Structure 1
Amino acid sequence: MNLGKYITTLESPSVQAFLNLRNKVGWGEADVEMAKMSLKNSLFHVVIRDKSQVIGMARVVGDGFMYFYVQDVIVDPDYQKQGIGNGLMFEIEKYLSVVAKKGATVALLAAKGKEEFYARFGYTERPNDSLGNGMCKFI
């Protein structure tokens, strides 16, 4: 996907860039070592930069075979509404189209108000007639 002047790479952001983006969107602080190991153990990364500054990132975690989880789709608030989120999801969907075989499950937790964004990529809101509420637990 062409984002003009921005640079898209399929690599992990630095731990500091990841933590900075989390803070900018209000997700709070995270332990540096935990963030480092979490990034290291991801299946797939995509980063979008404005010159050398990371302005967006996303990743996929999971077992790499049956279960995939879209995680940390983050766009710097100063760069939102410019198609960067779409660019991140385009790369994730391209990756998933190769690795996720028939019978695999791809899941995510949408931030409140972002459900419509993910629906454009084929994700289904829960609950619905056949699926209950998605659930999570924060430690």
Structure 2
Amino acid sequence: MTELKILHTPPAPLEFSALRESAGWQNPAPDIIAASITASLYWVQCRKADRLIACGRIVGDGHMYFYIQDIIVHPSHQGQGLGHLIMDNIEQYLAAHCQSGATAALLAATGKETFYQRYGYSLRDGEKLGLGMCKFY
């Protein structure tokens, strides 16, 4: 059985693009992917047989705002707890780096909300904080 390796370094751009595609996500231009990878605050990647099989990252200013992004597990490795392994590492990073008043946020894919609620993330129902918004280009 091949050993699972957890790294806290960014993956190579081509690997990251391929993992995004495996999840059905579109990719921007390769130079945008490369720049985005290096601009991240924190990475978690799971590798098996030297292949990227799952990842997650944090982007933001590193002081007040931390945004969880790109939690991806390759379809052939889903259901093995890798998403939780990634989130556990991300939560450890946030616990060590977030000061009082900081905000950690994410956009959950449809149907994945309860996964993130287990980590203390709340749905924005529009009552107290508004629904939240985004714009895609």
Same fold (TM over 0.5): yes
The separation in 1 between residues aligned to 2:88 and 2:8, in whole angstroms, is 12
Letter in 1 for 2:39: N
Aligned to 1:88: 86
User: What SS does the aligned partner of 2:104 have?
Assistant: strand
Aligned to 1:97: 95
Aligned to 2:69: 71
Aligned to 2:41: 43
Moved over 2 A (4+): none
Letter in 2 for 1:41: A
Among candidates 106, 113, 117, match of residue 108 of structure 1:
106
Unaligned runs of 5+ in 2: none
The separation in 1 between residues aligned to 2:51 and 2:132, in whole angstroms, is 34
Number of aligned positions between the proteins: 136
The separation in 1 between residues aligned to 2:132 and 2:125, in whole angstroms, is 7
Cα RMSD after superposing both structures: 1.1
Contact kept, 8 Å, 2:27 with 2:33, in 1: the verdict is: no
Sequence identity, in percent? 43
Aligned to 2:51: 53
The separation in 2 between residues aligned to 1:30 and 1:77, in whole angstroms, is 21
The Cα of 1:128 is off from its aligned counterpart by 5.0
User: What SS does the aligned partner of 1:58 have?
Assistant: strand
User: What SS does the aligned partner of 1:74 have?
Assistant: strand
Give the TM-score normalised by the residue count of structure 1. Answer: 0.94
Among candidates 112, 115, 135, match of residue 117 of structure 1:
115
Give the TM-score normalised by the residue count of structure 2. Answer: 0.96
